[in-house]
Amino acid sequence: MFVYRCHMWNKEAVMKAKVILIMVIAALCLAGCGEGDDDKQDVYKVYYLDGAGERLVAEDYAMPTGIAKDTASVATELIHALEKNGEKDRLTNPIEPDIEFDEIQLKENQLSIYFTGAYNNKSGVTEVLSRAAIVKTMLQLEGVDKVDFYVEDQPLMVQGESIGQMDAQSFVEDLGNRGEPLSRTVRLYFADKTGQKLVPVDTKVTYPAAEKMAKLLVDCLIAGPESVTDTDVSNLNRTIPNGTVLNSVTIRDNVCYLDFGREFAELLPNVTSDVIVYSIVDTLCELPSISAVQFTINSGVRERYGETDGFNRALERNLDLIVGG
């Protein structure tokens, strides 16, 4: 009997020891996994210009283990990577040595990068490609949906126009060879024969790589349906007075700010003011980065445009004016 009890006690002790051993091993494994996760290097795509300065090329960049995990620290490290040439100097860095960045700020999923005045020395396709490389690199960061640039604490201006927010849709994947025009299909809204409804027109447009898409679309509307050559537009009317000047285009917080010249104040006699206004609004709202449009005429705000009220507010898409809408 005594032997039996000792045997049972030994069996229970062995079982307890096994359980304890398993728990210790599990704890060590978890600790090891945790250390592995902490030491694991995050890998990002860093975009450079190719040797000819005509296209973007991505390279893997392993984040150094000593860099903090917060977005600001990672963004700063990626900017330093963009300051260096890639692939053993065969790729061109988007941020030249004479350009320095002062700081970065992250607010509501928007990353703002502040550069010194030397950034203004960049121009043309090189500037567009460099900007695209920086933006595409930064959009990989968690919590970053949009990027904007500041130069000497002022919003980046290119050819006299504020660039504003940039996202994944701001740049085409292939900007083509230097000087080579690009093409894409866009949707424009013109007036029907009655001048009381909008008709969507899909057409292919050709434009310089440095052209802002919002400006391109408004220029197409100013040119009128006569400029569309790949679609039958014989039953459509223009919605913007011929000769209208577009003074500026700025996109901020998904709102496109348009400032027209005085010609825009001269309403067309055969088109309602609502159709004029929303031909522009609906056309621009086809772009993913724009959800509303704010108008001014020679920098002046008007509460009313013809019969259209609320002209002083940011206007959203109006589907009711579209034929069949």
Burial 18-54 (b: 16+ CB within 10 A, else e): eeeeeeeeeeeeeeeeeeeeeeeeeebebbbbeeeeb
Q: Is the pLDDT of residue 179 over 70?
A: no
Question: What pLDDT sits at residue 2?
Answer: 39
- Among the listed ranges 181-185, 285-289, 319-323, which one has the minimum average pLDDT value? 181-185
Percent above pLDDT 90 for the chain: 50
Convert the pLDDT of each residue in 166-177 to its tens digit. Answer: 887 777 554 555
> Average pLDDT for residues 300-309, to the nearest whole number?
95
pLDDT tens, residue by residue, 103-122: 999 998 999 999 999 998 88
Going by pLDDT thresholds of 50, 70 and 90, the confidence category of residue 9 is very low
In this prediction, residue 17 carries a pLDDT of 58
Q: Which of 132-136, 204-208, 268-272, 280-284 has the lowest mean pLDDT?
A: 204-208
142 has a pLDDT exceeding 80: yes
Residue from 270, 275, 314 nearest 283 by CA: 275
- pLDDT beyond 80 at 185: yes
Cα–Cα distance, 269 to 277 (Å, whole number):
14
Q: What are phi and psi of 303, to 5 degrees?
A: -75, -25
pLDDT tens readout for residues 14-51: 566 565 666 656 555 555 554 444 556 789 999 998 87
pLDDT of residue 86: 64
pLDDT of 39 reads: 56
pLDDT confidence bin for 85, thresholds 50/70/90 = confident
Instruction: Give dist(CA 183, CA 209) in Å, integer.
Output: 9
Extents of the domains making up the chain: 43-162, 182-321
Instruction: Answer yes or no: are the C-beta atoms of 132 and 171 closer than 8 Å.
Output: yes
Token pair recorded at residue 13: 């002790």
The CA-based angle 106-107-111, given to 5 degrees, is 40
pLDDT given at position 28: 58
**pLDDT range class, residue 325, cuts 50, 70, 90:** low
CA within 13 Å, CB half, 131:
33
pLDDT (0 to 100) of residue 207? 77
Average pLDDT over residues 198-210: 85
For 222-253, the pLDDT digits (tens) are: 999 998 888 888 899 999 998 999 998 888 87
pLDDT at 101: 86
Q: Write down the pLDDT at residue 1.
A: 42
